[in-house]
Amino acid sequence: MNLLLLHADDFEGGPPSGSEEARASVRGRRAEHVGGIHRAELGDDLRVGVLGGRLGVGRVLALTPGHVELAVRLDREPPEALPVRLVLALPRPPVLKRVLIHATSLGLKRIALIHSRRVEKSYWQSEALSEKTLMAQLLLGLEQGGDTVLPRVTQHRRFRPFVEDELGAFLMDAQGFVPHPDATVECPRDTAGPLTVVIGPEGGFIPFEIERLTEVGVQPVNLGSRVLRVEAAVPYAIARLT
């Protein structure tokens, strides 16, 4: 946890505005992390942020097992979002959780989970897609990346309708790339401007799906001779393109 992420209801009377100081009370997992992992002591300053709001410093006023009280002052804005939108063929639930944490910590603010031929239909019934579980991974990503602004995550259970009717909105002001082992074009580096990165399932998109993506303006590109797992392909492709 690189950032203690606070919620509006952690405060007495709501989060502070401007340079004002406000008192916050934190319990549960976050408080246990502060005491057990950070080993904070009375008077220590912690990096804090308010979900959906600003960043600042929280001074430890009281510390007991499972409970921390802070004097919070917020003095700066969250980091800029990464200008990348991610379209991700739904991976196995454990992999999805890790990818969401990584993508959120990188600063992505738009993630679409889609179906494809090689995605197991049972994945869509997983508890990993519940609102509660998704939120838990996104919050962990914000804590890791020192951010406060949640990404928007949507689910699309039919490949062709998404590509034909909705993917265009992702590409309206952005270049689109889909890493694919059979692509003959090398993946570019340090691409300027907003990007949309489309990542397929383990085994990749089938030829029909690559054709549909190409028709709407997504460029197949080759990441090299190595075959990467989804959780490695996502950060690697984004890092290379940006």
Domain regions of the chain by residue span: 4-76, 84-241
- Over residues 187-202, the mean pLDDT reads 93
Short-list 89, 86, 129, CA closest to 108:
86
Percent of the chain with pLDDT over 70: 100
- Angstrom CA distances, 11 to 7, 15, 20, 106, stand at 8, 6, 13, 28
Give dist(CA 125, CA 136) in Å, integer: 18
Mean pLDDT (the chain) is 94
Percent of the chain with pLDDT over 90: 85
Pull the structure tokens for residue 58.
Answer: 């929280």
Q: Give pLDDT, residue 36.
A: 83
- Over residues 27-48, the mean pLDDT reads 90
Residue 83 has pLDDT above 90, yes or no: yes
Q: Give pLDDT, residue 165.
A: 96
Q: Give pLDDT, residue 211.
A: 97
Q: Which CATH superfamily is domain 4-76 in?
A: Hypothetical PUA domain-like; domain 1 (2.40.240.20)
Give dist(CA 78, CA 6) in Å, integer: 13
Q: Give pLDDT, residue 126.
A: 97
Give dist(CA 134, CA 172) in Å, integer: 27
Give dist(CA 241, CA 210) in Å, integer: 19
CATH 3.40.1280.10 fits 84-241, yes or no: yes
Q: Considering the entire predicted model, what is its pTM?
A: 0.93
- Over residues 149-154, the mean pLDDT reads 98
Q: What is the H or E stretch that residue 32 is in?
A: helix 29-36
